[in-house]
A and B are shown apart, each in its own frame.
Chain A
């Protein structure tokens, strides 16, 4: 496998961080194509990084970037990749937030903001639905969708019993430990 230089690796992650919209899945898809095209990463290491990123707390795609860049260039690569993919996008999100604040008193801006807020809630619920659906492997088998759906609905209902999110996650982890998929 050819080893890229640190600036070359940083350039790739910066470009992907600025140009890819839609969250983690499109980002991983683009990075996969770029790694294979440049022969920077083996399919085996890609698979391990992809699998472990799902088990890592926080934003999965950032863990994926850290792991793949660590395989390519060690700790310096991991650090450069995570900084490169997050800093430009973070600056942009601060600007967007500022634009919201500065234009909040204009009626046109209020109308746009209200529409965006309603859409944000709709996409949140849609994202929650998709998260559960990705865990329902093997469609048509009742046992395969019952467990993810039961845990998601259980977590939803437990929040109304005044449990904190941390407590709900703890209960879900215990359920996952003892209630394994057959």
Chain B
């Protein structure tokens, strides 16, 4: 895939989301549904790879870029991840404390909540691909509970899942 197109598609997703994984629905729409560059399984792999290592949750776009276009694609993904961050400099300079306006905060909060809804809807097709037996259903449910209720660091959840995967192979 052309690196410039890859960057433009990924930056469109990152510029229209307000948290790390909230860009996932748009990435899936462009790369899996419309252009068939990636499969749901590859997208899921990118999310898992992003959650295992250090760094922000949005780093999965680097993995998406790598899977779609190799190392140049990973560079495009990295650039798409960091591009929106610099928008804050003119905002800090010109808005400062005015960004605390109730209506501005209300719009940001609404977009954030919509991002959560979109993230949940993007998880539906990924779950169809990732869940194939009772063990994987158990891992999915346990991961959700550990993140949502116990607020355990996602690294430990992923490491725990990896250990269960090894044990499942042994037995």
Give A residues with C-beta under 8 Å from B: 17-24, 26-27, 48-49, 51-67, 70-71, 75, 78, 82-83, 85-90, 92-94, 96-98, 100, 107-108, 111-133, 135, 147-149, 151-160, 164-166, 168-169, 171-173, 175-177, 179-181
Total count of chain B residues near the partner, CB < 8 A: 112
Selected from A71, A119, A147, A171, the residue in CB contact (under 8 A) with B48 is A119
Q: A-facing mask of B1-42, CB < 8 A → 1, else 0? A: 000000000001011111111111110010000000000010
Q: Which residues of A contact B53 (CB under 8 A)?
A: 21, 89, 92-93, 96
B111 and A176 contacting across the interface, CB-CB below 8 Å: yes
Contact between B88 and A53 (Cβ–Cβ < 8 Å)?
yes
B111 near A62: Cβ-Cβ < 8 Å: no
Within 8 A of A (CB), among B132-171: 132, 135-137, 139-148, 151, 153-155, 157-158, 160-162, 164-166, 168-169
In the docked arrangement, what's the CA distance between A122 and B143, Å?
A: 5
A14 to chain B: closest CB distance in Å?
Answer: 11
Residue of A with least CB distance to B161: A119
| Complex A-B: 24 CB contacts under 8 Å | A24-B57, A57-B15, A58-B23, A58-B81, A71-B92, A86-B59, A90-B77, A112-B169, A117-B45, A119-B48, A119-B157, A120-B143, A121-B140, A122-B142, A124-B47, A126-B144, A129-B148, A131-B115, A148-B109, A159-B117, A165-B29, A171-B114, A175-B110, A177-B107
How many Å lie between the Cα of A83 and that of B29 in the bound state?
28
| Residue pair B168, A111 in contact (C-beta under 8 Å) | yes
| Partner pick for A112 among B29, B87, B166, CB 8 A cutoff | B166
Residues of B with Cβ closer than 8 Å to A? 12, 14-26, 29, 41, 44-60, 62-63, 66-67, 71, 74, 77-78, 81-89, 91-92, 95-97, 99-100, 102-123, 126-127, 129-132, 135-137, 139-148, 151, 153-155, 157-158, 160-162, 164-166, 168-169
Nearest B residue to A171, CB-CB = B114
Identity of the chain A residue whose Cβ is nearest the Cβ of B15 in the assembled complex: A57
